């Protein structure tokens, strides 16, 4: 320790360095949070032209088959059912 340097001068440099490090960390977090919030906000507007997804599944659809169509379908089932896998 130098004789002509006071204790406050010796503590000043580490305190200023610590304050600068804390300030850099805080500013980095603020900028990162702002960038994340902007990305979340932009995500909703990028695909604004597409319709929103439904919360429920589609309604069940059914078609009444004619007897000829039922017979043809039964023939296909028998044909494909005979094949080994």
Reported as a single tens digit per residue, the pLDDT across 45-56 is: 556 677 777 777
Residue 33: the pLDDT is: 86
Name the more confident of 47 and 83: 83
Which residue carries 């320790």 as its tokens? 1
Q: Residue 65 above 80 pLDDT?
A: yes
With cut-offs at 50, 70 and 90, classify the pLDDT of residue 1: low
Name the more confident of 22 and 50: 22
Name the more confident of 79 and 38: 79
Torsion over CA: 20, 24, 27, 30 (sign)? negative
Determine the Cα–Cα distance for residues 66 and 18; give it in Å rounded to an integer. 83
Q: Which residues of 61-74 are buried (b: 16+ CB within 10 A; e: fewer)?
A: eeeeeeeeeeeeee
CB 10 within 8 A of CB 1: yes
Token duo for residue 50: 């597409």
């Amino acid at each position: 320790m130098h004789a002509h340097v006071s204790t406050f001068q010796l503590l000043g440099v580490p305190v200023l360095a610590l304050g600068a490090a804390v300030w850099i960390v805080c500013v980095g977090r603020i900028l990162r949070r702002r960038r994340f919030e902007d990305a979340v906000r932009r995500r909703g507007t990028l695909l604004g032209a597409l319709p929103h997804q439904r919360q429920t599944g589609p309604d069940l659809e059914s078609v009444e088959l004619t007897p000829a169509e039922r017979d043809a379908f039964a023939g296909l089932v028998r044909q494909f059912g005979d094949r080994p896998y």
